[in-house]
Amino acid sequence: MSEHHHDHLNATHTHDGKPIQNDEPPSIEAESLETAVRELLMEKGVITADELRGAIETQEQRRPELGAKIIARAWVDEDFKQKLLSHGDMAVRSFGVDMKPTELCVVENTEEVHNLVVCTLCSCYPRAILGIPPAWYKRRDYRSRAVREPRSVLSEFGTIISEDRQVRVHDSNADLRYLVLPRRPPGTDDWSEEDLTELITRDSMIGVSEAITPGE
Ligand code: FE
């Protein structure tokens, strides 16, 4: 699979300055492998078709909007924010999110620090909160370059982090998922929690962008 992925990347790497943002369909190999594993698991009685359907249904109901609700709550409720930063898994339970068996670590963007999330090994992602990861998140070039040259990757997403802010890259894994708490945009002091959710994008919770500043 990795060999194929690599060839595929080379073929589409056109050096147009935005190689990471291309969305690509899964490879034929990946789809055949998925079908083979799924059929084997059912044949051996490890999972039933109904259990699989239920799991997919739960997964598909997860949308970045759920993450936006969690972040908006943190922006307006300092106690919730502290709980989210110290005990992420427990804090999100009040939003119906069960992170098990993984742990959730929420990292806060500040005047001094900008956080970026990646999984260098594969594609670990806070799916229980954000749903299915974008295609670029799984790409080899994002996974390697996010660590090596995060500022350059961020600039390709249109995100320029000033030199006086540190960029911290967080490598997710099978046990630990990261979620970025973006900075609350200026000029939103009198905004309701519900209105604030409109400013919180999926990308801002991965850290490739900031939350939307109204009027920009
Ligand atoms: Fe992974």
Distance of CA 133 from the midpoint of ligand 1 (Å): 11
Catalytic residue among 105, 119, 172, 204: 119
Per the annotation, the verdict on 119 as an active-site residue is yes
pTM (predicted TM-score) = 0.79
What does the DSSP 8-state code read for residue 84? H
Which tokens hold the place of 189? 């002091």
Q: Name the CATH superfamily for 63-216.
A: Nitrile hydratase alpha /Thiocyanate hydrolase gamma (3.90.330.10)
19: left (phi over 0), alpha (psi -120 to 50) or beta: alpha
Helix spans in the chain (H): 2-12, 28-43, 49-61, 64-76, 78-86, 88-92, 127-130, 135-138, 140-148, 150-156, 193-196, 202-206
Distance of CA 170 from the midpoint of ligand 1 (Å): 12
Which pLDDT score, from 0 to 100, does residue 23 have? 54
Residue type for 25, please? P
Which pLDDT score, from 0 to 100, does residue 81 have? 98
Catalytic residue among 105, 124, 172, 204: 124
* Measured torsion, CA atoms of residues 211, 177, 192, 212, in degrees rounded to the nearest 10: 10
Per the annotation, the verdict on 105 as an active-site residue is no
Radius of gyration of the chain (CA): 18
What residue spans define the domains of the chain? Answer: 24-61, 63-216
- Give Cα 91 to chain centroid, integer Å: 18
> In tens digits, what is the pLDDT along the chain, a chain of 216 residues?
333 333 333 333 333 445 565 556 667 888 888 888 888 888 888 888 888 888 777 777 789 999 999 999 999 999 999 999 999 999 999 999 999 889 999 999 999 999 999 999 999 999 999 999 999 999 999 999 999 999 999 999 999 999 999 999 999 998 999 999 999 999 999 999 999 999 999 999 999 999 999 987
Residue 92: other Cβ atoms inside 10 A: 24
Distance of CA 206 from the midpoint of ligand 1 (Å): 14
Which pLDDT score, from 0 to 100, does residue 4 have? 36
Q: What CA–CA distances, in Å, run from 101 to 71, 97, 145?
A: 22, 12, 28
Distance of CA 176 from the midpoint of ligand 1 (Å): 10
Distance of CA 144 from the midpoint of ligand 1 (Å): 12
Per the annotation, the verdict on 123 as an active-site residue is yes
Catalytic residue among 32, 94, 122, 192: 122
Which pLDDT score, from 0 to 100, does residue 105 have? 98
Question: Phi and psi at residue 118, in whole multiples of 5°?
Answer: -150, 165
